[in-house]
Amino acid sequence: MLMLAGIVLLHITTIILLLVATIDSAWWVTDTMTTDLWGRWDQTDSGWHYTHLKDFPDELLQTAQATSVLACIFAILALFVFVAQLFTLPKGQRFTFTGVLQLIACLCIMIAPSVYTAKFQGTAKVGGFGHSYVLAWISFVFSLLLAITYLILRKKSE
């Protein structure tokens, strides 16, 4: 029972980290600018102003956005499938479907920051990666651990 609670807690933590990484505007940070998957915030005398990411290729930007959103969707779906399989899966069976969904989420998590790193911030000389970027990679590790756990885990036969 304790292991089950730990798995669910890790899964919920991963989903929260993914949502923060996808929504928050701190993938690339300088003193006067923050950039995320959706836009750029520039600081001026009157405050922060939002602008579109017009310097980046649309196809690559949409790839990073789509895979980030898909990672959130697949991770949430995997949690619901896991809970459903707890009640419907025959004893002794593996949580394979949940593991596959979590593995797809893991792949999507890996693609978004990889594309962002290679194509968007590879040539930037000023600034650094923000906390949202770091959270995306942390959620990748958590998601990979969950996928492996689900693929190995069997429903306990009492």
Taken in order of first residue, the domains within the chain and their CATH numbers are 2-28+57-152 (1.20.140.150)
What percent of the chain stands above pLDDT 70?
Answer: 95
Residue pointed to by tokens 């959620």? 139
Q: How far apart are CA 117 and CA 122, in angstroms?
A: 6
* More confident call, 120 vs 47: 47
| In the predicted structure, residue 158 carries a pLDDT above the cut 60 | no
Q: Which whole-number Å values give the CA distances from 19 to 1, 37, 129, in the listed order?
A: 27, 12, 17
H/E element, 109: helix 96-115
Long-range contacts of 73-76 (CB under 8 A, 24+ apart): 73/105, 74/101, 74/102, 74/104, 74/105, 74/108, 75/11, 75/14, 75/15, 75/18, 75/102, 75/105, 75/143, 76/15
φ, ψ for residue 42, nearest 5 deg = -110, 135
> So what's the pLDDT on residue 134?
92
pTM score: 0.87
